[in-house]
Amino acid sequence: MRGRFITFEGSEGSGKSTQSRALYNYLKSRGNKVIYLREPGGTKVSEKIRKMLLDGSNHRMTASCEMLLYMASRAQVVEEVIKPALVSGSHVICDRFLDSTVAYQGFGLGMNIALIRYLGDFVSAGVKPDLTIFLDLPVEKGLRHRRRSYDRIESRPLAYHRRVRNGYLTMARREPRRFKVVRVAEDKSVTQNRIRELVIGYVF
């Protein structure tokens, strides 16, 4: 039986990484075979690409270069980790996937979304999320949650981050069966319980 592929999306500071890892630990505690990944990253090659993408000194990186680097990282992790895991019956929880590129480089930077989806389908080799959870939080509040120096993407203007959030909400309206919006609560456990209620129908 093929494993389930669950992805997490969210604006900066939404708690996406915390909540996705909490779900991973919960599923493991229930005896499920499950692996956890982040994007970009998840393999040696992909982690090296991640460093290039987030390095603030790479301020002259063009939008097309940025988008293609995300795609290159994704191609590697899909082939090396995600496809084999799903075929073996393991569930995969991934902190970001193709929807991030559509939101950040498409809606955010104004790149051609049809082109992004075309390239995304190619590098994903038929792998698509069964469920995508978007953690929604006003961008101003999310950016205030950051207690460290901003990376290259986080340091972009507020208007950019608003376009990204609106892009996610647009995708959620267009794909309501796959794309679920979870409002971020002040209490992290409340948010996690909302996530688990959604996931139960996909995993158990």
| pLDDT tier for residue 147 given thresholds of 50, 70 and 90 | low
Q: What is the pLDDT of residues 69-94, one digit of tens each?
A: 999 999 999 999 999 999 999 999 99
C-alpha 14/C-alpha 57 separation (Å) is 25
Domain boundaries, the chain: 5-203
> Which region among 54-63, 142-151, 174-183, 188-197 has the lowest average model confidence (pLDDT)?
142-151
9 pairs with which residues across the strands? 134
Q: Counting every residue, how long is the chain? A: 204
**What is the reported pLDDT for 148?**
63
Task: Report pLDDT for 17.
Answer: 94
pLDDT score of 115: 98
Q: Using CA of residue 29, residue 31, residue 37, residue 42, what is the dihedral sign?
A: positive
State the Cα–Cα distance between residues 53 and 57, nearest whole angstrom.
10
For residue 170, the model assigns a pLDDT of: 98
Q: With pLDDT > 90 as the criterion, what percentage of the chain qualifies?
A: 85
HEC letters along the chain? CCCCEEEEEECCCCCHHHHHHHHHHHHHHCCCCEEEEECCCCCHHHHHHHHHHHCCCCCCCCHHHHHHHHHHHHHHHHHHHHHHHHHCCCEEEEECCHHHHHHHHHHHCCCCHHHHHHHHHHHHCCCCCCEEEEEECCHHHHHHHCCCCCCCCCCCCHHHHHHHHHHHHHHHHHCCCCEEEEECCCCHHHHHHHHHHHHHHHHC
Give the mean pLDDT of 16-30: 97
pTM: 0.94
Domain 5-203 has CATH 3.40.50.150: no
**Whole-number Å distance between alpha carbons of 175 and 105:** 19
Average pLDDT value for the chain: 94
Q: Which residue has the higher pLDDT, 2 or 120?
A: 120
pLDDT in tens, 93-113: 999 999 999 999 999 999 999
The pLDDT, as a whole number, for residue 151 is 84
**pLDDT confidence band for 140 (50 / 70 / 90):** confident
